[in-house]
Amino acid sequence: MGNAVVKIFGMPNITEAEVDPENNSIFLNGTQYHVNQLSWEPPVSGTIYGVLLNYQGAFHRYREQMAHSPYNEPPKAPILYIKPINTLSGYRSPIPLPEDADELEVGAALGVVIGRTATKVKEEEAFQYVAGYTVVNDVAIPHENIYRPAIRERARDGFNPVGPWIIKKESIVDPDSLDIRVFVNGKLAQKNNTKNFIRPVARLLADITEFMTLYPGDVLLTGVPEQAPLVKAGDHVRIEIEGVGSLENTIVHEADYVKGAVR
């Protein structure tokens, strides 16, 4: 038993363990290890859905444009996208900077991991369907136009590091009030709080499962705050979410990118 679910390289299964998100450590067989002493695999395997413009600041940046072509009016339903399986990677896996991009946008996202098959879930019962939370870097090539699906910008290999673990939901009193900080090369580059969600977690789950089922192991990325840091090859990114954990990855040139490498 423990407060987290982990997938450590070499272990056949996802297992429960006791972790300390503040000290970035895990207890295995009674010994405390720092996260960097172990190799981590992404602790999730389902479909990953992202939500666009779910932070008030991110939404308001588009407010003016929403009245005009091609958008014409503000969105009604959550704006969703899918991060396919080729994007999935883990703690300390490198993030490739494609040759056709100058820089990448860091997407500091609280990931909600689904625990039970969720169809037409009521907002007040939504947390019954949540297994836990994880830290996700929802990487994208910067793009201003959001009229067409951004597959080229969001679905590149390695563009979705997840981890290092899933914190079980019981450890998080209120997922709609968590500090998020992004550090680039050790310097604070972005700070926000999930209280700035337009749709809080339960509302998102209700609005999404109204028309599509989420399955155990699926991950819902709850949005990326405004003023996302831009990074280049060589930059080290750490995303901290209060009580959930810290996710670290380094950007590398695509030519140097090998899946499974650790930097």
Partner 1 sequence: MKRARVAMNGTIYEAIEDNGFLQLNDQHKVTEKDVVWLPPVSPRTVFALGLNYADHAKELSFHAPTEPLVFLKGPNTIVGHRSETKRPPDVDFMHYECELAVVIGKMARNVKASEAYEYVLGYTVANDYAVRDYLENYYRPNLRVKNRDAFTPIGPWLVDKEDIPDPMNLVLRTYVNGALVQEGNTKDMIFTIPMLIEYLTSFMTLNYGDIILTGTPKGAVNVNVGDEVITEIEGIGRLINRII
| Neighbouring residues of 32: CB distance < 8 A, sequence distance ≥ 6 | 20, 25, 26
Helix (H) or strand (E) holding 240: strand 236-241
Q: What are the residues binding partner 1 (CB under 8 A)?
A: 47, 49, 52-53, 70-73, 75-77, 79-82, 84-86, 98, 100, 119, 146-152, 155-157, 211-215
Closest distance of CB 210 from partner 1, Å: 9
Return the amino acid letter for 188. Answer: L
> 74 vs 234, which CB is nearer to partner 1?
74
Helix (H) or strand (E) holding 52: strand 48-52
Contact of 205 with 118, CB cutoff 8 Å: yes
Closest distance of CB 221 from partner 1, Å: 13
Closest distance of CB 66 from partner 1, Å: 9
The tokens describing 26, both together, are: 């895990």
Whose CA is closest to 172, among 117, 108, 223, 127?
A: 127
Whose CA is closest to 49, among 107, 126, 112?
A: 112
Query: CA dist 180 to 40, 134, 136, 161, 242, Å?
Result: 22, 12, 11, 16, 6
Closest distance of CB 140 from partner 1, Å: 12
Closest distance of CB 249 from partner 1, Å: 18
For 239, phi and psi rounded to 5 degrees? -110, 120
Closest distance of CB 6 from partner 1, Å: 24
Q: What is the CA radius of gyration of the chain?
A: 18
